[in-house]
Structure 1
Amino acid sequence: MFQKILIANRGEIACRVIRTARAMGIKTVAVYSDADADALHVREADEAVHIGGAPASESYLIIDKILDAIKQTGAEAVHPGYGFLSENKLFAEALDKAGVAFIGPPAGAIEAMGDKITSKKLAMEAGVSTVPGHMGLIEDADEAVKIATDIGYPVMIKASAGGGGKGMRIAWNDEEAREGFQSSKNEAASSFGDDRIFIEKFVTQPRHIEIQVLGDKHGNVIYLGERECSIQRRNQKVIEEAPSPFLDEKTRKAMGKEAVALSKAVDYCSAGTVEFIVDGDKNFYFLEMNTRLQVEHPVTELITGIDLVEQMIKVAAGEKLSLAQKDVKLNGWAMESRIYAEDPYRGFLPSTGRLTRYRPPHEGVTDGITVRNDTGVYEGGEISLFYDPMIAKLVTHADDRIASIDAMADALDRFRIDGIRHNIDFLAAIMQHDRFREGALTTAFIAEEYPDGFEGAPLSSEQIKERAVIGFYIRSYVLDRASEISGAMPNYEATLPDAMAVQVEDQVFTARFDENGIVLDDETFELESLWLPGDLFFEGKVSGQAISLAVDTMPEGYVLTSRGKAQEVFVRSLRAQELMVFMPEKTDGASSKELLCPMPGVVMSIDVEEGQEVKSGQALAVVEAMKMENILRAEKDAKVKSVLVAAGDKLAVDDVMIEFE
């Protein structure tokens, strides 16, 4: 077995590999860029080597720098994680030439299956059903439009060397095909150093279901069940689960058998994933094979009890699989939520900055419920614009699907992140969405259920009352504590009101205490809690119903966040509430005559010039943030007065880019 391995990656996956290596008694080496000097994976590894500048193209993607780090530290093997060089055959070949083990498949398998075009051709030759498309390379946007027209819209434009949703666009017409082709090429070049693009038919109402395979160097290959990955946004997976709520045992075995056959055809060893599109009749079509560990591997680990990273290391060391197909059992249900640095209330725009507070829920097993949090950040750390926006992967496991969903909802309610925007509210809203709970999923779920964006989960009438009761209780507790400050507020007790007004959304209640609890208008609620001023969470019961909410103070009240809704609760004197009708409404101060940068990022292109007339929806500029290109469009017809930025400029949120007349 290896004595020391180097992890050619960063963030949560580097920390994940370190955790297993440590349990196996193997020392680890981290590599890091300028931006990651204080990163968690650097802190957790036994050794760390600096490899270059913040952009991945200056550090994590440079093979020679990884090889230099290996020489400096004497590492015997390299785990590539996912992304970066994980599916780069030149990297695997360079390691082999240097006499260093690659903890992944052989270069031949990477070349055959890691490239989406080649893998589709091989799958077709093997008799595997594939989605119709153009497998050849595409030279320019004009050719892309012609091919898309021949296939028939909608089409999927994809990076040949892609993964993780990078370099992917759906086009419904010629204009979108032209724009999507160029954006996909740019993202592919930036993320993978390979700008080859191909196009295939986009199957409507599809499910994205993948099979986990595991093989050794002795010809043994098994599959470890499937993962449902249909909850996606912009082709980026958001929530994954195992097993799938859709598959039956017959379809599972058929997909598994096909995945294993495809793996054996290329002498595959290590962990890998064969991805399929599955239609409503359980017909499945091969999409691609990822010749690496997947981001969502924890859900498979929790339902099988198999540590995939441990198996990868053992396979790379030449050991035979200790498991046969008959030994693989699927137990219970697992959910994974990807927590991203993005603002779901502002169109999921990326968010960067310092984590002023990072408090994940408690990990472990309690009453048969497992909570696991894979992360690469810490409180006080920085979220950089140079890498993908993932903060953590929160995973739960329970006996059945609904129990696992409920456990995830509870865990999300107890996850606190401050300093940047994040998508926890959005994830929590999905957990209680009726369609999600029923398992009626497609890859269009988010687009169909949130067509106008996300504004928070709707509150039931009971939830509104619960928040009103809790807001009144907290405010009363704070006022009562303040009245006890000796000498600070003389005669303050005499000013404590008997009743107060509580406003939640557009509903206003009169709240007071009596001997039975809190009276909201004419309805009485019992409240139990040990909450104290300064506590981040309110934990307690309202009329016997357990509830947990994050608490933030605001003028005239509190923001109470739970179950996907950050709700403002105003608590005022009765007289102040009466006067609210005379208060002017707040207006948005943003000027409609300016294009503001909606996120921190780098300007990739400016597509208009001074004096140009633009139409509503027309592309104005492209800004790259966190390895994704974002096209900024005109909100209405206008004339460009001045362009204030140029390609290559680094911008902050709300920097003015273009002025209109």
Structure 2
Amino acid sequence: MLGQLQFRSAAATAKALHGLSQAQRTQSAVAATACSAQRATGRRAVATSTDYGKTFDKILIANRGEIACRVIKTAKKMGIKTVAIYSEADANSLHVRLADEAVFVGPPPTSKSYLNIPNILGAIKQTGAQAVHPGYGFLSENSQFVKALDGVGATFIGPNESAMAAMGDKIQSKIIAHEAKVNTIPGFNGVVKDAEHAVEISRSIGYPVMIKASAGGGGKGMRIAWNDNEARDAFKISSSEALSSFGDDRLLVEKFVEDPRHIEIQLIGDKHGNVIYLPERECSIQRRNQKVIEEAPSVHIDEATRKAMGEQAVALAKNVGYYSAGTCEFLVDPKRNFYFLEMNTRLQVEHPITEYITGLDLVEQMIRVAANQKLNFKQSDVKIKGWAFESRVYAEDPEKYLPSIGTLNKYIEPKAIKDEIRCDSGIVEGSEISIYYDPLICKLCTHAPTRAEAITTMEKALDTYVIKGVTHNVPLLRDVYSHPRFQSGKISTAFLAEEYPKGFKGHKLTEESSEELVAISAVIHSLRDARKRGWVQGGGSFADNRVGTPVAKSDWSFFVGIGENATQKADVKKVSDGTYTVAIDGKAPVTVSNLEWVLESPIIHAHVKGAKGAARPVTMQYLETDASGYKLQHYGTKFSVRLQTPLQNQLSIHMKPKPKIDTTRMILAPMPGTVVSVAVKVGDLVAEGSELAVVEAMKMQNVLRAPRAGTIKGVYVKAGESVGGDEVMIEFAGDAAKTVKKSA
């Protein structure tokens, strides 16, 4: 195995950086020097790293992406050298550039690289790393990996093998929790044998039930079933996803608690018997059982409930001799009854918000615990400082929740402002989002004294987050934060399903947001028209290119519209530098003031005052110009704005609409990925709802079902083949087989 490994030194990393663009070099340099862990400010509630002694000289990070970068940053702060591992797909990734050394461990598939224990052990021996931080996912909860590290004399930065085996297994942990008198959800704690066994168990518990993987987490291998057919399907898909993601296809079945909140308690313990619980995180905003938005603390949890949950979590941890960072997850009903779900024996994705409200660096604590140091703070030292949110920014279609792949040809993270905004990412401009790994782009976090202020800061951060090259979920995130129900704190794990029952379709323009979009669109069109005619913007005014003197041009008239047609007449007048009035269809003018925009730059700042109310701050993104107008991002959603001169508007009525391509008889790939299976062949008669094929991407499987009864005319893919997004996979014959009934 060692012969397959490729070593990369810091010098080689520097050489790799040499070929990057200036933007990429700048982002890499910033990421390398800026510690994403919370800065030591006056708000720190516990001790800093200077209160401890020496730990390790060199650690290896057995992970990739943002979490690998996150661990590297704390290690650098502590004076520890780092070793990255990477697959062929990650050869030029940011975590490779940031580490002091890097070792190649295999091809892109995780089973051949990041889950390849022999190759990782070879990297440890080759580099002399004394300890290994697993991050989250991959091998972070694999007790066999811990045992293997013991065999080569490397310290695992996490819990011991026995505690991990006991609590990392959802089935075993529920048995232990029940015996320890921790509140648990009714369910079957044995191993589910097959699909029919899953149905039998589900009936005995009573629908609805949750069928989920015993190993792992991250929402993979989890399905809700409301009847027998859904239980059979859930068994099949969940076991397949679990095997693909964690190498373990065992499942458990438990009662699905309706209208719950997902609340978790962060633990930190040392090897000397000390275990402390930290304030809760709420993770109720989820899709496909995967968290999207988290916050700390929770509006639903009072001090008494927090104490009870924390003490049960600590008792459970002590019962198995647990140390390092770990998290007990609970479901909490509207009356604050709470039920233990599982224990994650690793660092959580959402750990930054706990760091924000406690002042702790959890990665640092894990390293120090692994080095046999005692925790240097007590339970009474832990205080809640303000409010924090985490937004998981994914490369995905926010309407269908399907992954997106591509190259980030433009990438600008929100500006980190002291203790208010934090971006944990593992990418830079030019990075590739591939089909092999989780589509997470960044964990965007904000912190403020109050929940309302933290929400406002997050809205501003999302409005200035520039991502081009892949479809992303910023539109959904932005819409959730501005949603009245979310702002009131009346949420549950069903929030997204209830508020967007037909999927997220983008921000629905209100009278105000429509007014903002039309007015600012009209103004930027006027500015671009001025430049086109020979004037340029400079210092907020227009000057003649030839002599540099102010010009008289101060008003414009054209037609504007959102979507297909430009139906509203807009009259724009310049009042002063940075201030304009826009009259739409002769109505009272809207005032756009304090305009900040350099022509063609991505961010537009302004204040908009309509006929009603005071001026309100607005931030938009200028995405691109197209043949008929512009694409602007407003409230996170992309809008096409159509602009026409009066003559163009008059002639447009004679334009014939483009013919639409009929795809109703075609089954298209919902995303780029790999075909797992094909269940039909040419000539088959299928019922509506029948399974046609399964496509997997980024460790998630999607079942494609027949939208109607019919005859299969063509099957154009095979199991194991790769498909692109919207690629035709299966085609129906033109005449539907109406006699085919839906299968039971």
Distance 1:498 1:13 in 2: 51
Match of 1:94 among 139, 148, 151: 148
Counterpart AA for 1:524: P
Q: Match of 1:169? A: 223
Contact 1:9 1:84 in 2 (8 A): yes
Q: Match of 1:122? A: 176
Q: Match of 2:299? A: 245
Q: Match of 2:332? A: 278
Counterpart check, 1:513 vs 2:563 = no
* Greater Cα shift, 287-296 or 496-505: 496-505
Match of 2:559 among 484, 492, 501: 501
Counterpart check, 1:325 vs 2:396 = no
Match of 1:424 among 474, 499, 506: 474
Distance 2:292 2:66 in 1: 16
Counterpart AA for 1:80: P
Task: Encode CA deviations 1:388-413: one digit per residue, 9 max, x unaligned.
Answer: 11110000000111111111111000
Structure 2 unmatched ranges of 5 or more: 1-54, 536-543, 610-614, 734-744
Distance 1:213 1:26 in 2: 24
Q: CA deviation at 1:562?
A: 2.3
Distance 2:168 2:502 in 1: 36
Distance 1:106 1:515, change over 3 A: closer
Match of 2:714 among 624, 642, 646: 642
* Greater Cα shift, 612-621 or 389-398: 612-621
Contact 1:471 1:557 in 2 (8 A): no
Distance 1:298 1:494 in 2: 53
Counterpart check, 1:373 vs 2:427 = no
Distance 2:650 2:318 in 1: 75
Distance 2:561 2:178 in 1: 62
Q: Match of 1:443? A: 493
1:582-621 to structure 2, matched below 5 A, reads 582-586=654-658, 588-621=660-693
Q: Match of 1:148? A: 202
Counterpart check, 1:576 vs 2:648 = yes
Q: CA deviation at 1:163?
A: 0.3
Q: Match of 1:25? A: 79
Counterpart AA for 2:503: G
Q: Match of 1:542? A: 608
Distance 1:156 1:477, change over 3 A: same
> Equivalent residue of 2:661, what SS?
coil
> Equivalent residue of 1:425, what SS?
helix
Counterpart check, 1:12 vs 2:66 = yes
Task: Encode CA deviations 1:218-267: one digit per residue, 9 max, x unaligned.
Answer: 00000111000000000000000000110001100000010100010011
Q: CA deviation at 1:555?
A: 2.2
Task: Encode CA deviations 1:595-621: one digit per residue, 9 max, x unaligned.
Answer: 121211000011112211122222210
Distance 1:274 1:583 in 2: 62
Match of 1:526 among 566, 591, 594: 591
Q: CA deviation at 1:65?
A: 1.2
> Equivalent residue of 1:523, what SS?
coil
Distance 1:122 1:590 in 2: 56
Contact 1:210 1:273 in 2 (8 A): yes
Q: CA deviation at 1:466?
A: 1.5
Contact 1:479 1:496 in 2 (8 A): no
* Greater Cα shift, 61-70 or 274-283: 61-70
Distance 2:431 2:574 in 1: 48
Contact 1:157 1:180 in 2 (8 A): yes
Distance 2:676 2:269 in 1: 42
Structure 1 unmatched ranges of 5 or more: none
Q: CA deviation at 1:586?
A: 4.4
Distance 2:450 2:690 in 1: 48
Counterpart AA for 1:541: H
Counterpart AA for 2:603: F
Q: CA deviation at 1:157?
A: 0.7
> Equivalent residue of 2:212, what SS?
strand
Q: CA deviation at 1:172?
A: 1.1
Counterpart AA for 2:412: R
> Equivalent residue of 1:109, what SS?
helix
Contact 2:279 2:306 in 1 (8 A): yes
Distance 1:635 1:122 in 2: 45
Contact 2:413 2:464 in 1 (8 A): yes
> Equivalent residue of 2:280, what SS?
strand
Task: Encode CA deviations 1:339-374: one digit per residue, 9 max, x unaligned.
Answer: 0110113x1221111111111110132xxx610000
Match of 2:355 among 301, 315, 338: 301
Counterpart AA for 1:280: P
Q: Match of 1:414? A: 464
Q: CA deviation at 1:175?
A: 1.2
Contact 2:556 2:573 in 1 (8 A): no
Distance 1:135 1:487, change over 3 A: closer
Distance 1:573 1:93, change over 3 A: same
Match of 2:127 among 69, 73, 85: 73
Distance 1:102 1:556, change over 3 A: same
Counterpart AA for 1:510: K
Distance 1:169 1:590 in 2: 33
Distance 1:590 1:19, change over 3 A: farther
Q: CA deviation at 1:495?
A: 12
Q: Match of 2:110? A: 56
Q: CA deviation at 1:40?
A: 0.8
Task: Encode CA deviations 1:532-575: one digit per residue, 9 max, x unaligned.
Answer: 22211112222342211011222222122122332222221123
Distance 1:314 1:587 in 2: 65
Counterpart check, 1:467 vs 2:517 = yes
Distance 1:572 1:284 in 2: 59
Scaled by the length of structure 1, what TM-score is found? Answer: 0.96
Q: CA deviation at 1:496?
A: 11
Match of 1:200 among 234, 245, 254: 254
Distance 1:130 1:343 in 2: 35
Contact 2:554 2:573 in 1 (8 A): no
RMSD across aligned C-alpha pairs, in angstroms? 1.8
Distance 2:556 2:60 in 1: 66
Task: Encode CA deviations 1:20-64: one digit per residue, 9 max, x unaligned.
Answer: 000000000000111111111001100000001101000111211
* Greater Cα shift, 591-600 or 63-72: 591-600
Contact 1:511 1:518 in 2 (8 A): no
Q: Match of 2:622? A: 551
Match of 1:385 among 435, 460, 481: 435
Contact 2:517 2:634 in 1 (8 A): no
Distance 2:445 2:184 in 1: 31
Contact 2:295 2:390 in 1 (8 A): yes
> Equivalent residue of 1:526, what SS?
strand
Q: CA deviation at 1:524?
A: 2.1
Distance 1:588 1:265, change over 3 A: farther
Scaled by the length of structure 2, what TM-score is found? Answer: 0.86
Distance 1:243 1:479, change over 3 A: same
Distance 1:390 1:588 in 2: 34
